[in-house]
Amino acid sequence: MANINDNYLKLPGSYLFAEIAHRITNYRKAHADADIIRLGIGDVTRPLPMASIRAMHAAVDEMADAATFRGYGPEQGYDFLRESIAEHSYAMRGVSIEPDEIFISDGAKSDCGNIQEIFGQDNRIAITDPVYPVYLDTNVMAGRTGELQENGYFSGVTYLPCRAENHFLPQLPKEHVDLIYLCSPNNPTGAAMSRSDLAAWVAYAREQEAVILFDAAYEAYIEAGNADIPHSIYEIDGAKEVAIEFRSFSKTAGFTGTRCGYVVLPKTVKGRAKDGRHVPLHPLWNRRHTTKFNGTSYIVQRGAAAIYTEEGQAQVRALIAYYMENARIIREGLQKAGLTVYGGVHSPYIWLKTPGSMLSWDFFDQLLQEVQVIGTPGVGFGPCGEGYFRLTAFGDRERTQEAVERIRALA
Ligand code: MLT
The pLDDT tens digits for 332-377 are 999 999 999 999 999 999 999 999 999 999 999 999 999 999 999 9
- The predicted pLDDT at position 12 comes to 86
Quote the ligand 1 centre to 18 CA distance (angstroms).
12
Quote the ligand 1 centre to 137 CA distance (angstroms).
14
Instruction: Kindly provide the b/e burial profile for residues 113-122, where b requires at least 16 CB atoms within 10 angstroms of the residue's own CB.
Output: bbbbebbeee
Question: Contact at 8 Å (CB) between 124 and 118?
Answer: no
- The predicted pLDDT at position 260 comes to 98
The average pLDDT across 132-147 equals 97
Give the model's confidence band at 320: pLDDT under 50 very low, under 70 low, under 90 confident, else very high. very high
**DSSP states of 17-76 as a string?**
HHHHHHHHHHHHHH-TT---EE-SS----SPPPHHHHHHHHHHHHHHTSTTT---S--TT
Statement: residue 279 has pLDDT above 90: yes
Q: Is residue 142 within 6 Å of ligand 1 at its C-beta?
A: no
Give, as one character, the DSSP assignment of residue 8.
G
Statement: residue 162 has pLDDT above 80: yes
- The predicted pLDDT at position 411 comes to 73
Statement: residue 40 has pLDDT above 90: yes
Segment 171-219, tens digit of pLDDT: 999 999 999 999 999 999 999 999 999 999 999 999 999 999 999 999 9
- Name the nearest CA neighbour of 106 among 287, 256, 274: 256
Q: Is residue 11 within 6 Å of ligand 1 at its C-beta?
A: no
Residue of 38, 132, 215, 391 to mutate, ligand 1, most atoms within 8 A of C-beta: 132
Closest Cα to atom 4 of ligand 1: 42
Residue of 44, 105, 187 to mutate, ligand 1, most atoms within 8 A of C-beta: 187
Question: Contact at 8 Å (CB) between 386 and 361?
Answer: no
**DSSP states of 74-101 as a string?**
-TT--HHHHHHHIIIIIGGGT----GGG
Q: Beta strands 349-353 and 341-343: pairing type?
A: antiparallel
Statement: residue 60 has pLDDT above 80: yes
Atom of ligand 1 nearest to the CA of 250: 8
The average pLDDT across 221-247 equals 97
Q: Is 142 exposed, middle or buried (0-12, 13-18, 19+ CB in 10 A)?
A: middle
Statement: residue 169 has pLDDT above 80: yes
- The predicted pLDDT at position 393 comes to 98
The residues near 49 (Cβ < 8 Å, ≥ 6 apart) are: 253, 254, 306, 307, 312, 315, 316, 319
The span from the CA of 408 to the CA of 399, in Å, is 14
Q: Is residue 390 within 6 Å of ligand 1 at its C-beta?
A: no
Segment 231-240, tens digit of pLDDT: 999 999 999 9
Query: Would you state the torsion angle of the CA atoms of residues 30, 32, 34, 40, taken in this order, to the nearest 10 degrees?
Result: 80
Closest Cα to atom 9 of ligand 1: 109
Q: Is residue 41 within 6 Å of ligand 1 at its C-beta?
A: yes
Share of the chain above pLDDT 70, in %: 100
Give the model's confidence band at 16: pLDDT under 50 very low, under 70 low, under 90 confident, else very high. confident
C-alpha separations of 200 from 122, 172, 193, 205, 237 in Å:
25, 8, 11, 9, 11
Closest Cα to atom 3 of ligand 1: 42
- The predicted pLDDT at position 270 comes to 98
Quote the ligand 1 centre to 20 CA distance (angstroms).
13
Looking at residue 34, its amino acid is A
Segment 349-359, tens digit of pLDDT: 999 999 999 99
Q: What is the chain's percent helix, strand, coil content, to nearest 5?
A: 45, 15, 40
The span from the CA of 326 to the CA of 399, in Å, is 10
Triad 83, 99, 133: Cα angle to 5°: 105
Residue of 16, 39, 45, 109 to mutate, ligand 1, most atoms within 8 A of C-beta: 109
The span from the CA of 404 to the CA of 376, in Å, is 15
**DSSP states of 144-166 as a string?**
-S-PBPTTS-BTT-EEEE--GGG
The average pLDDT across 388-397 equals 98
Q: Is residue 254 within 6 Å of ligand 1 at its C-beta?
A: no
- The predicted pLDDT at position 18 comes to 87
- The predicted pLDDT at position 288 comes to 98
Average pLDDT in the chain: 97
Q: In the chain, what are the domains?
A: 13-42+311-410 (3.90.1150.10), 54-308 (3.40.640.10)
Quote the ligand 1 centre to 377 CA distance (angstroms).
13
Q: Is residue 109 within 6 Å of ligand 1 at its C-beta?
A: yes
Q: Which residues pair with 103 in a beta bridge?
A: 263
For the chain, give the number of residues.
Answer: 411
Q: Is residue 247 within 6 Å of ligand 1 at its C-beta?
A: no
Atom of ligand 1 nearest to the CA of 217: 8
- The predicted pLDDT at position 15 comes to 76
What SS3 state is found at 228?
Answer: coil
- The predicted pLDDT at position 61 comes to 98
The span from the CA of 301 to the CA of 129, in Å, is 34
Residue of 15, 16, 17 to mutate, ligand 1, most atoms within 8 A of C-beta: 17
Statement: residue 13 has pLDDT above 80: no
Q: Is residue 42 within 6 Å of ligand 1 at its C-beta?
A: yes
Q: Is residue 187 within 6 Å of ligand 1 at its C-beta?
A: yes
Atom of ligand 1 nearest to the CA of 132: 3
The span from the CA of 294 to the CA of 291, in Å, is 8
